[in-house]
Structure 1
Amino acid sequence: MTPVVLGALALLLAGPAPVLLARRAWPTRVPRAAIVLWQALALSAVLAALGAGLALGMDVLFRPQRGAVEIIVHSLVTALTCVVAVRLVWAWAKVAIRTRSRRRRHRALVDLLARPDRELARGDLTVPGIRILAEQTPFAYCLPGVRDSRVVVSSGALDQLDSDELAAVLTHELAHLRARHDLVLEAFIALREAFPRFVRSRTTLEQSRLLIEMLADDAARRRVGAPPVARALVTLAATSAPTGGLAAGGHGTLARVRRMAEPAGSHRLLAAATYLAAAALVVVPTVTIAIPWLNRLADLLP
């Protein structure tokens, strides 16, 4: 029974649940909590799928009468589940290594071509070590890193954005760097690449990327207000971040501008309910299904 329940839960969390959640508007009101919910959804789906495979493979231990065919089939399922787990770990390592390699090369190129400023100040905001590229197309992005992060802007952005708009963009990029939003995206990218192409879905990754941008937008709005943020997003709408970077413009611009037109609110009850739902997605299946099965398995083992 345990493999069936876990398998059904994995299918539900990997299929209908992300689609239904992506269609809802309320997650954009609490982007931080919504990101945690998406993480919990993905983690629960993976754990349920792996748990279903292991439970089915080891269920043969619970039966006193075991045929040769049954033992072989269940052993193969267990082996396949272990392969999937290894593939997940490998995908995460591959994405991390590849992203950092590309980011390192891009950082070296930026340092070679850009004009470094010791700092760029706008009002009470100071961005040390910023890089300015001589390009009339307005863009701004950041390259995250532990000690060698970069904020890169074009001369066109400096010319076309007024003081408040530029402060909004710089605050947006600094929010990405300080919160290490790139690590959140890496996890979702690795999860997507771990599965075959015919079962991949971009819903979770795209929604998480949009929520991360909204979270950085909120940091900018708290500093300069909504109108400068909206105007800056429109100015930078045609640009996007390089691989491994995070940019203020380009992704979900229309939805983000519309969101700036809505009044900012704390939505504490909604955030608390979202965090509670995220915790329940991980805790409830573990307590009600996995732990009793593990206890039963422990009783049978010598």
Structure 2
Amino acid sequence: MLILATIMGAIAVALAWPVPVALSRARWPSQHPALGMMAWQAVALVGGVTMIGAGFAFGVWPLVEPELRSQLWLVTLTHFALAFSTFLGLHLILTLVMTWYRISRQRLRHRNLLSLLSEPSDLAPNALVIPHDSPVAYCVPGSGQSFTVLSRGLIAHLSDREIKAVIAHERAHLTQRHDLLILAFESWHRSLPWLPTARLARAAVSELIEMLADDAALRVVSKTDLLRALAATLQFSGEQGSVEYDAAADVKKSTFGHPASAERDDAGLPTEVVNSRRLTRLLDAA
């Protein structure tokens, strides 16, 4: 059991620091976002399991080898390891439940606001239009009915094909259930905010889901239309200033152009978006 605990501990340490740092700096996830997403999910899942499992494996060591029970210091240490692993597991589960509850409450409030301030649109199924002059588009996922929200400014300033590109992008978020990915990684970050892998994973996943949505949109619209839609929203977001992004609720109070990280005050500014790997990826492939 000691060997198993050591191996699991070593894997947990590797997935807590050097592996996520290397993965966040790698370029291949931008070229293959689906594989990149799978890699981050594997890092999170295996990292969490080995972190908890190492403590349990070490904690049951005296149970497997009864001759060790006479060593009081070792028994005390193994009991501490068991208690820590149990606490960590319960903490992760409770944080996930609390994050889901908070998100559900936020979405419910947002849906109530949309019922008062928006009007239905025939541009797409379950599409709503809000009275806002800036080009804004986001999606509101739900277990029952999901919505794609567009602003009047976006409809006024973009062409029909560009609007189609925006809608295809936002619908991809809904059909691929990116809200569940955000929920998992946001919960992980809230559980262990001091863990580098949790912080890096949340930022990487926010970027990768946009790339996945772009790829899905490109199956419906041309790359030119998607880039023009991005350029148009970038122009107006620059005039309006920075934008916000609530990763936990998956409600983007922003332009279609970029999901700003919650950790950057200047996120969403045109310079940040132009330099992002997402936009660079589209331009390189154009």
Which bin holds the TM-score, normalised by the shorter protein?
Answer: 0.7 to 0.9
Contact 1:141 1:151 in 2 (8 A): yes
Map 1:144-293; keep pairs closer than 5 Å.
Answer: 144-195=141-192, 197-199=193-195, 201-237=198-234, 238=237, 239-242=243-246, 244-247=249-252, 248-251=256-259, 253-254=273-274, 255-263=277-285
Please give the root-mean-square deviation of Cα atoms over the aligned residues, in Å: 1.7
- Which one of 44, 50, 53 corresponds to residue 51 of structure 1? 53
AA of the residue aligned to 1:98: R
- Cα distance in 2 for partners of 1:163, 1:169 equals 10
Pick one of 6, 22, 29 that aligns with 1:20.
22
Q: 1:65 and 1:100, CA in 2 relative to 1: closer, same or farther beyond 3 A?
A: closer
Query: Is 2:76 aligned against 1:80?
Result: no
Q: Distance in 2 between matches of 1:65 and 1:7?
A: 21
Q: Which residue of 2 aligns with 1:142?
A: 139
Q: Secondary structure at the match of 1:137?
A: coil
Mark the CA change 1:158 to 1:83 in structure 2 (over 3 Å): closer, same or farther: same
> In 2, distance between residues paired with 1:261 and 1:222?
17
**Cα distance in 2, alignment partners of residues 189 and 134 from structure 1:** 30
CA distance in 1 between counterparts of 2:173 and 2:15 reads 28
Deviation string for 1:186-240 (max 9, x for gaps)? 1111111112x43354210110111111000111122111122122123334344
Unaligned runs of 5+ in 2: 238-242, 261-272
- Quote the sequence identity (%): 32
How far apart, in 1, do the equivalents of 2:257 and 2:169 lie? Answer: 10
Identify if the C-alpha distance between structure 1 residues 191 and 245 changes in structure 2 by more than 3 Å, giving closer, same or farther: closer
Larger displacement relative to structure 2 (13-22 or 242-251): 242-251
Deviates more, 1:98-107 or 1:237-246: 237-246
Does 1:98 find its partner at 2:102? yes
Q: 1:34 aligns with which of 27, 33, 36?
A: 36
Q: Report the Cα offset of residue 93 of structure 1.
A: 0.6
The offset of 1:14, in angstroms, is 1.2
Once the 2 structures are TM-superposed, how far is the Cα of residue 139 of structure 1 from its aligned partner?
Answer: 0.6
CA distance in structure 2 between the aligned counterparts of 1:160 and 1:152, rounded to whole angstroms: 16
Q: In structure 2, what is the Cα distance between the partners aligned to 1:150 and 1:24? A: 34
Measured in 1, the distance between the counterparts of 2:68 and 2:8 equals 24
Distance 1:246 1:101 in 2: 12
Contact 1:107 1:150 in 2 (8 A): no
How far does the alpha carbon of each residue in 1:138-192 deviate from its partner, in whole angstroms, 9 at most, with x for none? 1100000122211111100001111111111000111111111100111111111
Q: Write the distance in 1 (CA, Å) between the matches of 2:148 and 2:205.
A: 22
Closer, same or farther in 2 for the Cα pair 1:263/1:198, shift >3 Å?
closer
What secondary structure does 1:245 align onto? Answer: coil
Q: Tell me the CA shift for residue 42 of structure 1.
A: 0.8
Give the CA deviation at 1:33.
Answer: 1.9
Indicate the residue corresponding to 2:267 in structure 1.
none
2:245 and 2:148 map into 1 onto residues whose CA distance is: 11
Distance 1:166 1:174 in 2: 12
SS in 1 for 2:135: coil
2:218 partner SS: helix
Q: Does the aligned pair in 1 maintain the 2:5–2:57 contact within 8 Å? A: yes
